[in-house]
Amino acid sequence: MVAVTKKIPYKELINPLKAGEKIALFTCNTCPRMYETGGVEVMNELAAQLEEDGFKVTDKIVLAAACFEDFIKQLIPLISDSWTTGIVLACDSGWGIVKSYLLQKRIFRGLITVGIQQGREPKPVELLEG
């Protein structure tokens, strides 16, 4: 099963941010990487754009699979405390798990989950209701 995601438009993503804000980026390296909405390359592109627009990216965290709680639990001790806001490039499940472990921080979605793909062969996406 693969979560199908799309990027939140950049202007919408930065709208709640304050000039000079310190940001940590989190990316899932599984489903979003496959759909080119996340992964290391997309995270680095977003970091460069944020830096160019006057934000300070302090941390870039790659999660093997953000929807597995153990991955974020293992990384918590390694994440600096120098940031105030996190942006998560993951499906809704991954975003929720990251947010649940970092309640003292502002955590925003960088992606929207639009559906689930099942099976090995490309099939039509099952759209989520709501």
The rounded distance, in Å, linking the Cα atoms of 16 and 34 is 28
CA–CA gap between residue 67 and residue 6 (Å, rounded):
17
For 82, list phi and psi in degrees, rounded to 5. -85, 0
Vertex 55, ends 45 and 86: CA angle to 5°? 75
| pLDDT by residue, tens only, the chain of 130 residues | 789 999 999 999 999 999 999 999 999 999 999 999 999 999 999 999 999 999 999 999 999 999 999 989 988 888 999 999 999 999 999 999 999 999 999 999 999 999 888 765 554 444 555 5
Q: How far is CA 55 from CA 15, 23, 49, 91, 92, in A?
A: 12, 7, 9, 24, 24
Token pair 């390694």 is found at 78
- Full set of structural domains in the chain with CATH: 2-118 (3.40.50.2300)
Q: Return the pLDDT at 32.
A: 95
Return the pLDDT at 120. 58
Specify the pLDDT at position 121.
56
pLDDT at position 66 is 93
pLDDT at 91: 96
107, 95 contact by CB (below 8 A) = yes
Q: Where are the alpha helices (DSSP H) in 15-91?
A: 31-34, 40-52, 69-75
Block residue for tokens 């974020």: 72
pLDDT of residue 116: 84
- As beta bridge partners, residue 88 has 26, 109
Cα–Cα distance, 51 to 123 (Å, whole number): 38
